[in-house]
Amino acid sequence: MNAPSFSLIKHFTMRTHWVMDYETLSNCFVAVFEDIKSEERKIFVLHDLRNDLDPFLDFLEKNITQKEWHVSFNGLSFDGQITEYIIRNGELLLDMSGSEAAAWLYEKAQYIIETQNRGDFLEFSPKDLTIEQIDIFKLNHWDNPAKRSSLKWIQYTTDWHNIQDMPIHHATKIESLDKIDEIISYCINDVSSTKSIMYLSKSQIELRAKLTDEYKINLYSASEPKISKELFLHFLSKKTGIKKYDLKALRTYRQEIVVKDIILPYLEFKTAPFQNLLNKFKEVVINPNETKGGFKYSIRYKGVKTDFGLGGIHGARNEKYSIYESTEDTVIMTSDVTSFYPNLAIRNKWSPAHLPKEDFCQLYEWFFEERKKIPKSNPKNYVYKIVLNSTYGLSNDQNSFLYDPQLTMRITINGQLSLALLYEMICEAIPEAVPLMQNTDGLETIIPKSKVDLYYEICKQWQDLTSLELEHDKYQKLVLGDVNNYIALNEYKEVPKDDFDKIKSGNPHYLFKEEDGKYYYAAAKCKGRFEFNNLALHKNKSFLIIPKAIYYYFIHGIEPEDYLASQKNIFDYCAGKKIKGNWKFVIEDIVNGEHTLTDVQNTIRYYMSKKGYKIIKKNYVDGRETKTEADKALQKLFINYEDKPFEEYNIDTNYYLKKIRSEINNLSPIVRQITLNF
């Protein structure tokens, strides 16, 4: 299969660049490179049975002279470090045998890994590397603890055909060409999957290429927070005249944050639950080094329990039946604050204490106003969105020159209280209102259709008071598990025929209709355990068939049995799990009448099968065991894709139907239509 054609930046079109990966074993080194635009492949081995050191060094020299880049998964922290050792020590390596060279590189690899594990700086920074790198791992921020993902995990989430771990331990002495071929095959698989992930990241790479070209800052492997940090630093340095080096050294460290001193003066409430909330906040003194769990408080108002903390507001109606629909007399309103947290800082002229306040505020507002002028189709719109959102987050990052935890707390605490104020204003002015959900930057409420104009008027009053902006929409239906797990279906919107066709081809799960020569669509939003479409690659997509079936039941009215009968994609029936620490996965099975336990790899993919076995997690230190699936049903490993008729997988359909029906019944045996007292 030929790879899609694109150039990393415009002047790359006439050059070759390489997706690459290394395998370093105690006496064998394997390097695989594949052209980003074709299937051309280069393979080099360092071993006594095959020594490709001379052509390998020639190849790297060609990369340097022809300005050919390496594309990798975690290359900046591993493969690129190895490459630099090879380039700087070529003459030394040429005096060694193949196995001696491999052993030398193995020692370097172990040193690199130990250095990373200690959290120390690596020997070569990106600017020290002779061959430029694009690191897909860094670019996607998969080194962040919240998104931490190995190549094996991303292979799983992208339905890669082969997610096999390295079959040979790195300390093993390789003694045969067959074993070398096994390592090569494994390495080729990793390179091919990295290339596939590169193309899935195409728009992100092209965006970084344009930013690098425009601002002369190397952002090819930059995560979104890094882009925000670098661009804000770039513009702030130009605006203030302060050198980047000096700005980078600035921070504001605080011993404590007295909350009553940072609450906005317009935050006053009329009802006891919210008045008590405000008083509780005013009593808080925050230790900025221990904010987790530093404040928790809940209120109950109009039938909804809403939780507050030092982060965001979270509340949802908790009833036996949780399906809500607009009716002839009622409508579900949803309102979100536009760029909520950035705008709180912008409108209130807040900045990190160590930066020139006027310059910071003007620059932050400039990003917001410029973004409004740029069409969403323009990548720069997305860039400015990154800058706006990440700048707030970086105010709580001690590694950032924007660090001032008081700014973070100003934003999050006043944000919660401001949204609570809107919540109270709506419900007090419209007694029939039924609040459904409040979450960080918006809220959902059922109101009489006759009160929609009043609703907008109340929102306008809140906007005038806070200087913030609200964006409104209406839902046909809200399937509400809890504040983090729901399906929301918007009302139908009329669009031109061309837009209709484009939306339909890109979002086949939406609702579409044609009436009297006009075209309408209803968008749907799925969150949490109901998500199944366009999932972020680091997220666990286990048993995707379950949220799909639930969605099609509630939104399209298709019974789960009928939906499953029509779905033949084996990957949608698969789950993925990963393990670390003192644990391992073990297959528990009966073979020829004997009870067997077989160790398997640390990242697994499996499906529920009528003809399978149990996969358990076993602690090899204390012997503890837990099942990967609590149900009595059996699993079947699916490490390597098997292309066969769907029926031959022996899918245990009853397992999936049980899960789907349980979720449907827990949400609502019947559709709930709120009856308002008006």
- CATH code (residue 85): 3.30.420
Residue 130 lies in a domain: yes
Residue 25 lies in a domain: yes
pLDDT tens string 14-48: 578 999 999 999 999 999 999 999 999 999 999 99
Question: Which two three-digit tokens encode residue 116?
Answer: 């990373």
Q: Where are the beta strands (DSSP E) in 382-517?
A: 434-439, 442-448, 470-482, 485-490, 493-495, 511-515
Domain ends where: 222, 251, 281? 222
Residue with tokens 């076993």: 618
Residue 194 lies in a domain: yes
Residue 123 lies in a domain: yes
Which pLDDT belongs to residue 500?
Answer: 94
Which pLDDT belongs to residue 320?
Answer: 65
**At 274, is the pLDDT very low, low, confident or very high (cuts 50, 70, 90)?**
very high
Q: Which residues neighbour 220 within 8 Å (Cβ) at sequence distance 6 or greater?
A: 8, 132, 133, 134, 135, 139, 205, 208, 209, 212
| Helix 357-373 × helix 379-394 angle, to 10° | 150
Residue 478 lies in a domain: no
Mean pLDDT (whole number) for 322-334: 95
- Which ranges constitute the DSSP H helices of 46-97? 53-65, 79-88, 90-94
Instruction: Indicate the pTM of the whole model.
Output: 0.92
| Distance separating alpha carbons of residues 32 and 187, to the nearest angstrom | 7
Give the end-to-end CA distance of the chain in Å, rounded to a whole number: 64
Q: Say whether pLDDT at 603 is over 80.
A: yes
Q: Find the domain containing 650 and state its range.
A: 545-667
Question: For all residues of the chain together, what is the average pLDDT?
Answer: 93
Domain ends where: 222, 240, 274? 222
| Helix 272-282 × helix 405-429 angle, to 10° | 170
**At 676, is the pLDDT very low, low, confident or very high (cuts 50, 70, 90)?**
very low
Residue with tokens 């370097």: 108
What is the CB neighbour count within 10 angstroms for residue 449? 14
Phi then psi for 589, rounded to 5 degrees?
Answer: -145, 170
Residue 52 lies in a domain: yes
**At 321, is the pLDDT very low, low, confident or very high (cuts 50, 70, 90)?**
low
Q: Say whether pLDDT at 485 is over 90.
A: yes
Q: Say whether pLDDT at 561 is over 50.
A: yes
Q: Which residues neighbour 478 within 8 Å (Cβ) at sequence distance 6 or greater?
A: 323, 324, 325, 332, 436, 437, 444, 486, 487, 488, 489
Per the DSSP assignment, residues forming a β-bridge with 335 are: 443, 472
| Distance separating alpha carbons of residues 273 and 271, to the nearest angstrom | 6
Q: Say whether pLDDT at 329 is over 50.
A: yes
Question: Which two three-digit tokens encode residue 8?
Answer: 């990393």
Phi then psi for 215, rounded to 5 degrees?
Answer: -105, 0
**At 678, is the pLDDT very low, low, confident or very high (cuts 50, 70, 90)?**
very low
| Distance separating alpha carbons of residues 393 and 640, to the nearest angstrom | 40
What does the chain come to in residues? Answer: 678
**At 1, is the pLDDT very low, low, confident or very high (cuts 50, 70, 90)?**
very low
**At 596, is the pLDDT very low, low, confident or very high (cuts 50, 70, 90)?**
confident
Residue with tokens 């799983």: 156
Question: Which two three-digit tokens encode residue 268?
Answer: 């006053």
Q: Say whether pLDDT at 521 is over 50.
A: yes
Domain ends where: 166, 190, 222? 222
Q: What is the DSSP letter of 206?
A: H
pLDDT tens string 372-398: 999 988 888 999 999 999 998 999 999
- Say what percent of the chain tops pLDDT 70: 96
Residue 495 lies in a domain: no
Q: Which residues neighbour 217 within 8 Å (Cβ) at sequence distance 6 or greater?
A: 211, 230, 231, 234
pLDDT tens string 163-212: 999 999 999 999 999 999 999 999 999 999 999 999 999 999 999 999 99
Mean pLDDT (whole number) for 547-559: 97
Which pLDDT belongs to residue 6?
Answer: 46
Q: Are 420 and 437 in contact (CB under 8 A)?
A: no
Q: Say whether pLDDT at 13 is over 60.
A: no
Q: What is the DSSP letter of 672?
A: B
**At 580, is the pLDDT very low, low, confident or very high (cuts 50, 70, 90)?**
confident
Which pLDDT belongs to residue 291?
Answer: 78
Give me the numbers of helices (H) and strands (E) for the chain, helices first please: 20, 28
Which pLDDT belongs to residue 613?
Answer: 94
pLDDT tens string 114-127: 999 898 999 999 99
Phi then psi for 644, rounded to 5 degrees?
Answer: -155, 165
**At 12, is the pLDDT very low, low, confident or very high (cuts 50, 70, 90)?**
very low
Classify residue 624 as left (phi > 0), alpha (psi -120 to 50) or beta: beta
Q: Is 35 exposed, middle or buried (0-12, 13-18, 19+ CB in 10 A)?
A: middle
Mean pLDDT (whole number) for 552-574: 97
Mean pLDDT (whole number) for 267-288: 96
Q: Say whether pLDDT at 289 is over 90.
A: no
Residue 247 lies in a domain: no
Mean pLDDT (whole number) for 533-541: 94
Q: What's the sign of the alpha-carbon dihedral 586, 587, 589, 591?
A: negative
pLDDT tens string 145-156: 999 999 999 999
Q: Say whether pLDDT at 481 is over 50.
A: yes
Q: Provide the number of structural domains found in the chain.
A: 2
Pairing of strands 574-578, 50-51: unpaired
Question: Which two three-digit tokens encode residue 525?
Answer: 């939003």
- Which ranges constitute the DSSP H helices of 534-597? 545-556, 560-566
pLDDT tens string 64-92: 999 999 999 999 999 999 999 999 999 99
Which pLDDT belongs to residue 673?
Answer: 45
What SS3 state is found at 346?
A: helix
Mean pLDDT (whole number) for 394-407: 94
What SS3 state is found at 546?
A: helix
Mean pLDDT (whole number) for 607-630: 92
**At 671, is the pLDDT very low, low, confident or very high (cuts 50, 70, 90)?**
very low
